[in-house]
Amino acid sequence: MDSKFLEFWGNVLLSAAKGQRQIEDFNRWIEQGFKGIQEFGTLLAGIYGIKEEPVPEEGGGEAWNRALRDFRKSYEEYMGLMGMVSREDYRRLAEECERLKEKVAEQEDTIRRLRMNAGWENTSRDEVVRGVQDLMTRQTEQFQELMKSYVSVFKGDMPAKDEKSKEKKKKMARGKS
């Protein structure tokens, strides 16, 4: 973390001990996104080693912008260490949360309409799952019966049929003679 930021923060807290108004101004400055440097310009300028008033012709505007960027970055790191998020991040996440809630509501409405169209409006999920499980159980039993019949056809009945056909041939042959 930037040592100049820590020095600035220490000076702000020392100044706050002298008067509540300055800390209220500082909070308002942060809430506005670090706009309106005039209130803390002297304090910031002294710590970052720049002129109090930014003079664009002398490159002062860039120095102020760099100092503000460094300060803002250090401030966000400091707040992150304390487990806090910026108002901007909070607002962004709150908006995303609202969008997701709306999307969930739309999807639940779509599911409800589709269930009604399918005739499942009074059917609970458990009943549907139970019905599918029963269907699968019946199909499994039927498949096993089918396999047993195939096995019996190929194992036991084939030779018996061959013997029966041989006996028929013998009888037919006897009848001819």
pLDDT > 80? residue 29: no
Rounded Cα distance between 71 and 65, Å, is 10
How large a percentage of the chain has pLDDT more than 90? 19
Instruction: Please compute the mean of the pLDDT values over residues 115-123 and round it to a whole number.
Output: 71
- What does pTM read for this prediction? 0.37
Rounded (5°) CA angle 139-145-149: 145
CA 44 remoteness from chain centre:
40
Rounded Cα distance between 35 and 29, Å, is 6
Q: What is the pLDDT of residue 101?
A: 98
Q: What is the pLDDT of residue 88?
A: 83
Rounded Cα distance between 45 and 37, Å, is 10
pLDDT > 60? residue 100: yes
pLDDT > 70? residue 19: no
Q: What is the total residue count of the chain? A: 177
Residue showing tokens 């908006």: 95
Higher pLDDT, 6 or 41: 6
Whether 45 contacts 52, CB under 8 Å: yes
pLDDT > 80? residue 43: no
The DSSP secondary-structure symbol of 34 reads: S
Q: What is the dihedral of CA 18, 20, 22, 24, to 10 degrees?
A: 160
Instruction: Please compute the mean of the pLDDT values over residues 111-123 and round it to a whole number.
Output: 76
pLDDT > 80? residue 147: yes
Whether 71 contacts 3, CB under 8 Å: no
Q: What is the pLDDT of residue 49?
A: 65
Q: What is the pLDDT of residue 1?
A: 66
Instruction: Name the range with the highest mean pLDDT among 11-15, 73-77, 165-169.
Output: 73-77
Of 2, 135, 131, 28, which Cα lies nearest the Cα of 10? 2
- Classify burial at 171, counting beta carbons within 10 Å of its beta carbon; exposed 0-12, middle 13-18, buried 19 or more: exposed
pLDDT > 70? residue 149: yes
Whether 8 contacts 43, CB under 8 Å: yes
Higher pLDDT, 75 or 33: 75
Confidence class for position 14, pLDDT limits 50, 70, 90: confident
The mean pLDDT value of the chain amounts to 74
Q: What is the pLDDT of residue 26?
A: 64
Of 69, 78, 75, 63, which Cα lies nearest the Cα of 31? 75
